[in-house]
Structure 1
Amino acid sequence: MNNAYKADLILVLVTLLAAISWMFSKEAVLQMPPLLFMSVRFFLAGLLLACVSYKALAKLALSGWLHSARVGLVFGVAMCFWVTGLAKASHVGEAAFLASLGVVMVPIIARVLFREAIPRSTWLALPVAVLGLGFLSLSAPMDRALKLETAHILLLTSATFFALYFNLNTRVTNIPSSILKNGESIKGSKVPVLALTTIVLGTTGIITGLVSAILEPWYPTFANLQAELVGWVVLSATIGTALRFLLQTYAQSLTANSHGVVIMVLEPLWTTLIAMAWFSETMNTSQLVGCFFILLSLIVNRFKAIIQLVRPR
């Protein structure tokens, strides 16, 4: 098996881990404050990845840490909105499709902040995504009044910050080699992806922890700590975060010819299917149509990559 196929298979596993992580997170936020959960989850995951990336972290100069921490700050804000939206959401599958809209927003953020041209596929995907959102906003199958729930607004806000994070993440991995210490850098080198991921996860743990300390009570959680809750937090930190990002980083290191941008579209589909089995969720007609249009917008947005995928390598 060549590296491209191996990377693709690993990324399929990554999307499955991401989908399962939605279940772990939902179970945890039913028993503890959502922001506190995110803080513990990401701080633990960051510590675990630090055990693997400590050599790369030691080579980073202060400027590299600051660039990476800035990305972590944006990701932390995104996760604050995401987990609050998940805690309020009545349907995990629907929430996954709403959060996935960040992929469609990436070129728009790139245009606004970095003056990049918006691909034609994005212009085609946007109205399809809005149509999908409209169907999800229908309060009931027989009630045609548009009604955005609080969870919808929170998840859409998180999707916007995810889009900003994707843009910043790409640029930090391509900043000049001055971020490395002791003259060890080579012209054109990048911030090591694993080191960047470790700093981002640790920063996210700190950001969500600070917000949680201001907005949420901690005492009831720690005073009545249950083994089941500890299990969900540990599973989220290890399998849903640390292992997921470690495998994703490894897959990205194998080849530049992976079809990751297409494969990652599978996450909301896996999440919906697993939520149906895990929580016995069902969807009404409006939800099914809305999720279909959002999935279609993701496919349209990645149409060029999909064409490359179906062609012989």
Structure 2
Amino acid sequence: MLPERRGDLFILSATLLASAGWLFSKEAIQGLPPAGFVGWRFVLAALLLLPFCYRQLLAIPRTNLLKAAAVGLVMALNLIFWIQAVSHSKGIGEGAFIMSLSMLMVPPLAWLLFKERPTRQFWLALPIAVTGLLLLTMGSGLSLSAGQLLFLLASLTMALYFNLNSRFARRIPPMALTCIQLAVTGVMNLLYSVLLESWPDQVPPHIWGWFAASVLLATSLRFVCQSMGQKHSNVANAAIIMMLEPVWTVLISVFWYQEPMPMQKIIGCLLILLALLSYRSRNLLAWYRNRRALSINKRG
């Protein structure tokens, strides 16, 4: 198998594991406090990564460590909003599409924080995405449910995380950076849990099964698949495949939770996908032109 095809399969596996992670999390918090679940999930995931990057961590300057940890605080806030949104929602499909809008929130935040003007593709994609969001969330009137509002806040903080991470953590090796930020996210969620949540006296055994699946499959194995995929897959292919995560999540939610998907919501989901595709169209065209130029040069 060609390395590029193998990379695409790894990215596809990562999207399937990520969508399954929504199910694992939703089931696990039926018996565990939400922030406590996220806290232990990310702390254990960081410990699993530690043997593979501890030498890198020792070599990182203290200033860069502090920057990575500070960005990890934004990630922690994002996960607090996300898991609370999951706990307040009956299904998970609609939330996955709302979360996918974080990629369209990155440019306006970069404009606000770093004076980087959004591209023309962003302005073309924005009205499509807003229309899709309205169809997806405004079912019976002009009011957002608690879960939808929390998903929007999670999407916004995810966009903030992407902006900060791309600027302040570039000099840190990816695995070491992931380990630091997973650890910070886990510790902050555990502190939140200690202060504001109460743990049950007894946790059913099957809940620990969902928890283990979240740590081992949806976090650790997903990270490995995504890293290996990005190593071999080209950027355009990876970007398109990663958009499938909310689609898998919707299918899981409809099958597992019987989440209703009337035509209005289906059209809203399709519009959000269309907005994401149109926003990434510039990268896709550049990739296509490069591939075409390479093939012409090889023939010549």
TM-score between the two structures when normalised by the length of structure 2:
0.91
Match of 1:198 among 173, 179, 182: 179
> In the TM superposition, what is the alpha-carbon distance from 1:257 to its structure 2 partner?
4.7
Identity of aligned residues (%): 39
> In the TM superposition, what is the alpha-carbon distance from 1:91 to its structure 2 partner?
2.3
1:156-176 alpha-carbon deviations (Å, 9 max, x no partner): 0110110111122222342xx
> In the TM superposition, what is the alpha-carbon distance from 1:254 to its structure 2 partner?
4.0
Tell me, yes or no, if the aligned pair for 2:110 and 2:116 is still in contact at 8 Å.
yes
CA RMSD, 1 decimal: 1.9
Are 1:224 and 2:202 counterparts?
Answer: yes
Q: Take 1:138 and 1:78, find their aligned partners in 2: how far apart are those partners?
A: 23
1:146-187 alpha-carbon deviations (Å, 9 max, x no partner): 22111111100110110111122222342xxxxxxxxxxxxx
Q: How does 1:224-303 map to 2 (within 5 A)?
A: 224-254=202-232, 257=235, 259-303=237-281
- In 2 relative to 1, CA 117–28 (structure 1 residues): closer, same or farther, beyond 3 Å? same
Counterpart position of 2:296: none
The worse-fitting range, judged by mean Cα deviation, of 5-14 and 197-206 is 5-14
AA partner of residue 163 (structure 2): N
Tell me, yes or no, if the aligned pair for 1:73 and 1:204 is still in contact at 8 Å.
yes
Q: How does 1:1-313 map to 2 (within 5 A)?
A: 1-140=1-140, 145-174=141-170, 190-218=171-199, 220=200, 223-254=201-232, 257=235, 259-308=237-286, 313=291
Give the total of aligned pairs.
Answer: 291
- In 2 relative to 1, CA 270–310 (structure 1 residues): closer, same or farther, beyond 3 Å? farther
The worse-fitting range, judged by mean Cα deviation, of 253-262 and 71-80 is 253-262
1:248-283 alpha-carbon deviations (Å, 9 max, x no partner): 223334466563222211110111112222223331
> In the TM superposition, what is the alpha-carbon distance from 1:129 to its structure 2 partner?
1.3
> In the TM superposition, what is the alpha-carbon distance from 1:310 to its structure 2 partner?
6.0
Partner-residue secondary structure (3-state), 2:139: strand
- In 2 relative to 1, CA 146–81 (structure 1 residues): closer, same or farther, beyond 3 Å? same
- In 2 relative to 1, CA 303–56 (structure 1 residues): closer, same or farther, beyond 3 Å? same
Tell me, yes or no, if the aligned pair for 1:94 and 1:272 is still in contact at 8 Å.
yes
> In the TM superposition, what is the alpha-carbon distance from 1:306 to its structure 2 partner?
3.4
> In the TM superposition, what is the alpha-carbon distance from 1:303 to its structure 2 partner?
1.5
1:77-101 alpha-carbon deviations (Å, 9 max, x no partner): 0010011001101221101001111
Q: Select the structure that is richer in helix.
A: 2
The worse-fitting range, judged by mean Cα deviation, of 273-282 and 16-25 is 273-282
Counterpart position of 1:178: none
Tell me, yes or no, if the aligned pair for 1:67 and 1:172 is still in contact at 8 Å.
yes
Return 5+ residue gaps in structure 1 as ranges. Answer: 175-189
- In 2 relative to 1, CA 71–89 (structure 1 residues): closer, same or farther, beyond 3 Å? same
> In the TM superposition, what is the alpha-carbon distance from 1:246 to its structure 2 partner?
2.2
AA partner of residue 159 (structure 1): S
Partner-residue secondary structure (3-state), 1:112: helix
TM-score between the two structures when normalised by the length of structure 1:
0.87
